[in-house]
Amino acid sequence: MNTAVPLPPLQGLFEGDAETSNAYARLLPLEDQAVLPVRILGQMLIQAPSLKGRTYVARSINCCATNQAILKLGESQLGQFIQYFEQLRTPSSTPLFWSIDELQVDPTASLIRDNYRCMLSGFVDNDAFVSLPALQAEVIATKGNVSITECHHILTEYTGCPQSKCGSRSHNWTIGCLFGTPIEDRPAGPGSHDLRNILTLEKGFQACFERFMIWLEPTAESDNQYTLMRQAESICRQLPSLFTFTSTSPDLPLPDPQYLAIHAACARIIKLAGAAHFITKFVDEADEIEALEKRGPPGELVRNLRILLANISTRPVPTRD
> In this structure, is residue 95 part of a structural domain?
no
| Integer Cα distance of 315 and 71 in angstroms | 14
- Which pLDDT score is estimated for 169? 30
pLDDT of residue 156: 73
Give strand pairing partners of 146. Answer: 124
Summarised one tens digit per residue, pLDDT across range 117-151 is: 999 999 999 999 999 999 999 999 999 999 999 99
As for how many domains the chain has, the answer is 3
Same domain? 178 vs 121: yes
178 and 216 share one domain = yes
List, for residues 69-109, the tens digit of each pLDDT value.
Answer: 999 999 999 988 988 888 888 654 444 333 333 444 455 89
Is 145 found in the same domain as 54? no
Q: How confident is the model at residue 291 (pLDDT cuts 50, 70, 90)?
A: low
Is the pLDDT reported for residue 238 higher than 90?
yes
pLDDT, tens digit, for every residue of 255-265? Answer: 999 999 999 99
Residues 31 and 142 in one domain: no
**Same domain (yes/no): 206, 264:** yes
**Residue 140 resides in a domain:** yes
Mean local confidence (pLDDT), 244-254: 97
Same domain? For 220 and 142 the reply is yes
Query: Is residue 156 domain-shared with residue 29, that is, in the same domain?
Result: no
Q: Are residues 133 and 214 in the same domain?
A: yes
User: Do both 85 and 144 map to the same domain?
Assistant: no
Specify whether 259 is located in the same domain as 285: no
pLDDT top residue among 234 and 302: 234
Give 186's pLDDT tier (boundaries 50, 70, 90): low
Is residue 319 one of the residues assigned to a domain?
no
263 plus 289 within the same structural domain = no
Owning domain of residue 217: 107-162+170-184+191-273
The pLDDT assigned to 158 comes to 41
23 within a domain of the structure (yes/no): yes
317 versus 171: the higher-pLDDT residue is: 317
- Supply the pLDDT for residue 281: 87
pLDDT per position as a tens digit, 8-33: 999 999 999 999 999 999 999 999 99
Check whether residue 235 and residue 257 sit in a common domain: yes
- Does 310 have pLDDT greater than 90? no
